[in-house]
Amino acid sequence: MTETPQTRSTDAPVLPGQYQPGEVEQRRYEEWVSAGLFQASADSDRPPYAIVIPPPNVTGSLHVGHALDHTIQDSLIRRKRMQGFEALWLPGMDHAGIATQNVVERQLAGQGLSRHDLGRDKFVERVWQWKAESGGAILGQMRRLGDSVDWSRERFTMDEGLSRAVQTIFKRLYDDGLIYRAERIINWCPRCLTALSDIEVEHSDDDGELVSIRYGDGDNSIVVATTRAETMLGDTAVAVHPDDERYKHLVGTEVELPLTGRRIPIVADEHVDPAFGTGAVKVTPAHDPNDFEIGQRHSLPNLTIMDERGVITAHGPFEGLDRFEARPAIVDALREQGRIVAEKRPYVHAVGHCSRCKTTVEPRLSLQWFVNTGPLAKAAGDAVRDGRTRVEPAELAKRYFAWVDNMHDWCISRQLWWGHRIPVWYGPQGEVVCVGPDERPPGTEEQGWRQDEDVLDTWFSSALWPFSTLGWPDETADLRRFYPTSVLVTGYDILFFWVARMMMFGLYALDGRQPFDVVALHGMVRDQFGKKMSKSFGNVVDPLDWIERFGADATRFTLARGANPGSDVPVSEEWCQGSRNFCNKLWNATRFALMNGAHVQGDLPAAEQLSTVDRWILSRLRQVVGEVDEQFEAYEFAKVCDTLYHFAWDDVCDWYVELTKPVLAAGGPAADATRRVLGHVLDQLMRLLHPVIPFVTEELWIALNGGGTVVTAAWPVADDALLDPAAETEIAALQKVVTEVRRFRSDQGLKPGQRVAARLGGLAGAGIAAHEPLIRALVRLDPAGDDFAATATLAVSPAVTVELDTRGSIDVAAERARLEKDRAAAEKEIAQCRGKLGNAAFVGKAPEAVVNKIKDRLAAAEADLVRVSAALAALPS
């Protein structure tokens, strides 16, 4: 932007020539924290607004998903703080049981030790030591992003208060019969040696082998198919559908299980799909969840044929083999006996993997603790159905109901040492006692009492997060003031696993009071092509790298600008560079304004003292404030950013600042009024942008206001008195003239600084005659002299024409040749697109997206042809 300081105030602050994020961000953030600007008080009489941060893992670092999630939350909390709410954004971390234990165990392995060498107590001490020295790096990274959290309330899922909350709710659930211990099929990691929750299992399509095996001989034989041949050693039945005519004569009979010599029954069960495979399935109750249910219905024995490390324990030739070694060995043995009917390899099927170590998960029958989710899940569904909690976007509520209405009981025990130990003691006579937080254990080890060795699933403690962090089970001032919390912001991918759990526990513990009023769901961050980010694809974005190179504001704006509710968020480095340029544009515009005396002192001049241009920008500001308010309330962050981007870049920088230059240069009362309006518009713009890009707006707002902080400045209010449709209509007409002349100049190859004589007709009819000097200044048009000869005429509108004398300004022959070339290219593109769209076979078979792309190309080419033809017609003969 060209700087033309004319009447710079002697005491106006001087901004550096360029914005350097690295010199601003850390300094400003520490100032905010030191001043206590992010702290909330339960004693305040302001209306409360609270968000509890989805607690990142203590082992984690800021990834692009965190950056998106935190940017959205920070935008909400900063805006509410400016609106006068007592805004609490509560930070903290999750102890991340499996991940943290793995980290410390790897450290011990490097010293030639295992956790068993230390013993449980010493190992837990070592984990706490690691947490103090190395854990929680993400907290510092949150500061770099600009998170305006109340650090005085930082919590950790293993701290004393939250541990007490965990023990309290466990005891209540246990006493109410909603927690029980039983043998069930669970997800088991043979590497981590623990049960896993559903969210800790990642499924991928892997290459495997599908083998069809004949059980029995002759007319009584039956064929089953499996991808896990090793589990046949634990088969206790074959199941068929009761209505399957092929197998009715076999139901109730027995068949010999190959390689084992055991005979197993053939049972009828409606779970079997007769159309899948052979219509007969092997039943291994101890190693498959569906088989376990069949086994329960038919009282089948549960034979466990492998240990916790996935090693075969069934007596015979395969004993001692790893499960993946046993699989081909068993297939070979069956092949030798002629029992392999068919083999299909590769056979692609979904396989679960431990999210921590990527080991293939093994379904395993195990004695574990479970939550009876039935009544809890119903309450969680009812809270959304009756409107106590609203899901945004509303269409994702269907996914929520699909989960809570069909929820299985939740396995909550983990075979770890790091975590909340299950508060149940077993006595010497078989006693089972659950102990609350204010109760003593029933006895000592010397007396034969022992505590359950398992710890609770990490998701159990995080399910309490919205209220345990506020002091529950005590009735604290924070709990009374800030519960229910206002909104939960999270990705739709954990709607089922975490959101539903918080709903269940919050409603149960707080007598039907929901943990949050709104669940605002965003999508996954993807690359600019919509592709999932993956190290193997080489498209992973490190937000810390972007912050280092482009600044936190540019990183935040890039993420927020793609955040439509419930939809995935595309990003690219090029877009982040564009966001950095946007920050620089704001910097340069404000620097220009300050150097030309813009200020915020005193009231705005009355409307009659303002120029049409000033009234126009104030009217546009009023509209933008209203639009942004609506978009924020609808969680339309992409629209917020888009609205503010175009207002700032187009209306303020490209138009208003340029339109003010001649006024400021002329001086006088009009310039004084414009300086005040320019200062006001930039002040309000910085407030509007602050929630998304806090650092650059703080720097610029302070420069405009001579101190203070935008963090606690009042949020702009949509003032209808500023609406001025007449001014907007008038300036729109001016913009059209300027735009068309600029387009003509560009098409004709005129240099930006080259002046051209012109006659402007019809300005009075368009209501913009008073703006003729301004129009001429903006597009470098000289008055028509005595020797004026119109060589080109632009029909800007039915009322306005612009005649230009381009003699000596254009190499007509060269320009005609260039335009003829452009016209030929446009005509060729039109012919090609019309040919494809006229081909019924192509249109019928091509994907809709491909057809639409060709339609877009056609429209663009037709517009180019019109533009080029007009430029040719305007050339002098």
Binding residues: 535
Select from 658, 619, 632, 627 the least CA-distant residue to 643.
Answer: 627
Tokens 């999630």 belong to 69
Alpha-helical regions (H) of 220-288: none
DSSP run (H or E) holding 870: helix 848-874
Q: Are 400 and 500 in contact (CB under 8 A)?
A: yes
Binding positions for ATP are 535
Residues 6+ positions from 363 with CB-CB distance below 8 Å: 185, 186, 187, 188, 287, 288, 289
Q: Are 464 and 472 in contact (CB under 8 A)?
A: yes
The torsion region of residue 4 among left (phi > 0), alpha (psi -120 to 50) and beta comes to beta
Angle in degrees, 0-180, between the axes of helices 64-82 and 137-145, rounded to the nearest 10: 50
The CA–CA distances, whole Å, from 607 to 405, 615, 655, 719, 804 equal 59, 7, 20, 13, 36
The CA–CA distances, whole Å, from 371 to 13, 177, 190, 411 equal 63, 9, 24, 7
DSSP run (H or E) holding 678: helix 669-689
CA distance 614 to 593: 14
Work out the burial of residue 549: count CB atoms within 10 Å of its CB; fewer than 13 is exposed, 13-18 middle, 19 or more buried: middle
Q: Are 32 and 148 in contact (CB under 8 A)?
A: yes
Count CB atoms within 10 A of the CB of residue 9. 13
Q: Are 619 and 699 in contact (CB under 8 A)?
A: no
Q: Are 417 and 192 in contact (CB under 8 A)?
A: no
Q: Is the peptide bond before 317 cis (omega within 30 degrees of 0)?
A: no
C-alpha torsion sign, points 394, 399, 403, 405:
positive
Q: Is the peptide bond before 773 cis (omega within 30 degrees of 0)?
A: no
CA distance 196 to 177: 23
What is the residue type of 807? R
Instruction: List the structure tokens of 434.
Output: 């659950």
Select from 100, 93, 302 the least CA-distant residue to 183.
Answer: 302
CA distance 106 to 563: 38
Q: Are 522 and 552 in contact (CB under 8 A)?
A: no
CA distance 360 to 265: 30
DSSP run (H or E) holding 166: helix 160-175
CA distance 558 to 577: 9
Q: Where are the beta strands (DSSP E) in 452-515?
A: 455-456, 485-491
Alpha-helical regions (H) of 83-159: 97-110, 115-118, 120-133, 137-145
Angle in degrees, 0-180, between the axes of helices 669-689 and 657-666, rounded to the nearest 10: 150
Alpha-helical regions (H) of 530-656: 543-550, 552-561, 573-595, 612-633, 637-646
CA distance 833 to 826: 11
Select from 715, 710, 694, 583 the least CA-distant residue to 148.
Answer: 694
